[in-house]
Amino acid sequence: MAPSPRVVIIGAGIVGTNLADELVSRGWNDITVVEQGPLVMPGGSTSHAPGLVFQTNSSKTMSEFAKYTVSKFLSLEQDGQSCFNQVGGLEVATTPARLEELKRKRGWAQSWKIETHLLTTDECLELYPLLDRDSVLGGLHIPSDGLALAARAVQLLISRTTKAGVRYLDMTPVTDIERSDGKVTGVTTPNGSIPADIVISCAGFWGVEIGAMVGLPIPLLPLAHQYVKTGSLQALNAPNKPVNGADLPILRHQDQDLYYREHGDRYGIGYYGHRPMPVVAASLGSTPKHVDDKNMPSRLDFTSEDFKPAWEASKKLLPVLREAEITDGFNGIFSFTPDGGPIVGQHPTFDGFYVAEAVWVTHSAGVAKALAELLTTGRSEVDLADCDLARFEEVQLAPAYVSETSQQNFVEVYDILHPMQPRESPRNLRVSPFHARQQELGAVFVESRAWERPQWFEANAELLQDLPAQWRPVSRDVWSARFHSPISAVEAWKTRTAVAMYDMTPLKRLEVFGPGAADLLQKLTTSDISKHPDQATYTLMLDNGGGILGDVIVARLEAHSFHVGVFSPTALDYISRTARQYSKQTPNQWTQVRDITGGTSSIGLWGPLAPSIMNALHAPSIANLPHHGFCRTFIAGIPVLALRLSHVGELGWEVYTSAEFGQRLWDVLWAAGQAYGVVAAGRAALNALRMEKGFRDWGADMTSEHDAFEAGLGHLVDVGKEGFVGEMAIKGRSEGNSSRRLRTMTVDDGRSVVLGKEPVFYDGRAVGYVTSAAFAYTIRKLIAYAYLPGEVVDGAAVEIEYFGRRVRATVTDEPLSNVPARRERAQVSSRAVEPVRARL
């Protein structure tokens, strides 16, 4: 058995101690945990965290982390007492909008297999008698929620892991990370060096300073959050109740940004409704030698003026507080990130340095388990895309961006947010070369990874009157109608019947080159990419367990040069890291990876009349390309790379050029397309059209928790290919022997346009959840994808729960828009139109 690597964990809070425990349980035995404060109370966020654990989250990953944390803390016992008080959780609604939101949240809980119950006002009062009856409209009860005894858990974990051989060094700040030849070798402390093969920073809000030691921006912002305790209340007094004991469920009053828990006969109240109060961690200094409940770096002075609205709202919801006083309060520091997720992963260019930061107690054990799996087996059982360090683009790591977006996340932490709701600021950080033309056409932009992306174009509104009856969208319910426009129907119609231009610039493009490039891409993908130049391959990247890391488009430009399209920053990180490691192992077979997205632009020209535009521009080399063929050529003097592929299932091409020629390329295609009824089209139409054709969206319809056969992409695994990552894991698998498969459903109720993550029921039980959904304009039905058990066959009746109401749906085969007779030609210019070529 190979010796376990030498591991140094920085931070002995709830994450670091859990990680040490998870690694020990997997057989690693050379682990040192260094802590700048005293072990008895390190002084970070763990030391003052109120410990409320509400498991239900819009993110499946975050809910899985929380579920595991509850399970582990329940099992962590001493003297008959666990580290989790499972009093349950209650979220109350005091507005009709919140009541509807609780129905949506219950849907998430059913999707993630968390027991919940919607309660009436009377049921809320029965469960929690201290509530004001006139304020509460209803609630959501989660029986398995409760209070994590975080400080106690840390001490028990330290005791358990110490017995297993873990070494703890307290009062030992890390002053540097030692490295050699691009790899970690140890950490420096005032007491000397500690050698290490792996270093993991679990330093919480001090993680920014640790990351800076290795040139790694950590996109988190420490923010102060108010918490108070009241004086003794007779209503909470019970015989033999512990000082910090609790009998009532933990309580959320999100309409006023408040939460509540018992501390024996006192109330604890947390408040998010105050102004954001950012903190610079470096200004707090190191942890003092003496730390207690009221003397720790993460506990700042209470600003009572900020809490006044919370106190008035609390007295209204809980009348018993009208006779109480606040006896203690503080502003406690927690870490917030631009998207609310934790930060987990490896340094992009420095091997052996990992982070697990911005992790709250709620998710602590789950994150530790996932990272331990990643370290010991190379993959986590839970998909980590929502918390991967590499998920941020470079511009999103800028301190100003991190500060503004993290503060906004603090403000919105309890807000009712629509899944299509655009970020208001910062905006216009990244725009394509077509942006000015899109503005002229009335583009309605959404922000995605700091890119401005058109959702639809107001200029197309005038075409609504020409829309054939069978293409007209149905009226939507109020929720799904938000951030939606019927104009998307026009753009879908024109794509299917004429031609449309899509801005594909934000999709990431890489240049992979060098003598080892072909071998590298062969190793990383499921298809044979050793085709001769001028051929592209749509393929998958898998992890070593067969889970899907991403779908990629590989175009071989020359023998040792490839144009690679990927769909996330994490894919770039994976390819770049692997290329660097392989180049070290075989220097004469080096490979370089360059992200060329910012210097290039891309237009998707798709529709049955797209060839007419290319012929009008005298570009036969493009018009005559075979499926997945590509060529370098000129369009009206503009150097382009044209690739025949489609994200919407129509004939056409992605046309790439450098950013300097981008606007001219748009103008040339736009002018030539006027004779054929060309329109600009946005993401809303694209999403609907790609689903009609059965195309998957990585991150939603497929993740590392799914294999190619479950996702219906087994045809992308070349039979007979050997040696690629994940090959052994998927050997013998097929769609036929998969226990679940991604299936298409058509929804019978056309007005309830589900948006994703809603639970799917079969024979009365929840068996899956919606991964993607859209209104399919071509067939005039709502469609949705979900992973369903293999027993669910075509034609089966299922139900989707939408805001507490079951909506009937039918499982159907795909693709849905393959019937040529369904199409009607769009009205175009009276000029002659060439015959439509065969579709893709």
- Give catalytic residues, as residue numbers: 225, 259, 551
The values of phi and psi at residue 181, to 5°, are: 55, 45
Cis peptide upstream of residue 815 (ω within 30 degrees of 0)? yes
CA angle 56, 58, 64 (to 5 degrees): 55
Q: How many CA atoms, within 13 angstroms, populate the side-chain half-sphere of residue 43?
A: 22
| Gap between the Cα atoms of 177 and 195, Å rounded | 10
* Neighbouring C-beta atoms of residue 322, cutoff 10 Å: 9
Beta strand residue intervals within 351-497, DSSP E: 353-357, 443-448, 451-457
Within 296-384, strands assigned E span 299-300, 326-336, 343-346, 353-357
Contact 124, 139 (CB under 8 A): yes
Give the whole-angstrom CA distance, residue 143 versus residue 147.
12
CA distance 293 to 227: 13
Cβ-contact 83, 46 below 8 angstroms: no
Nearest to 265 by CA among 234, 286, 292, 224: 234
- The residue written with tokens 């009377």 in the block is 122
Which tokens belong to 394?
């470079």
CA–CA separation, 141 vs 90, rounded Å? 5
CA-wise closest residue to 366 among 339, 351, 386, 347: 386
Q: Containing H/E element for 584? A: helix 569-585
Q: Using an 8 Å Cβ cutoff, are 811 and 790 in contact? A: no
- Which residues, at least 6 apart from 782, have a Cβ–Cβ distance to it below 8 Å? 746, 747, 749, 750, 752, 753, 754, 773, 774, 775, 776
Q: What angle do CA 663, 666, 667 make, to 5 degrees?
A: 90
Angstrom distance (rounded) from CA 573 to CA 686: 27
**Phi and psi based region of residue 187 (left: phi greater than 0; alpha: psi -120 to 50; beta: remaining):** beta
Which one-letter DSSP state was computed for residue 535?
B
DSSP 723-774: S-TTHHHHTT--STT-SEEEEEEEES-TT----S--EEEETTEEEEEEEEEE
Residue 287: CA count within 13 A, CB half-sphere = 31
What is the distance between the alpha carbons of residues 635 and 657, in angstroms, rounded to a whole number? 10
DSSP string over 102-158: HHHHHHHHHHTT---EEE-HHHHHHH-TTS-TTT--EEEEETT-EEE-HHHHHHHHH
The answer for residues whose C-beta is within 8 angstroms of residue 239's C-beta and 6 or more apart is none
Give the CA radius of gyration of the chain: 28
Secondary element (H or E) of residue 501:
strand 500-503
Where do runs of H (alpha helix) occur along 632-704?
659-673, 683-692
**Residues 6 or more apart in contact with residue 1 via CB below 8 angstroms:** none
Beta partners for 261? 268
Q: How many CB atoms lie within 10 A of CB 674?
A: 12
Which residue is it, tokens 């209104």?
775
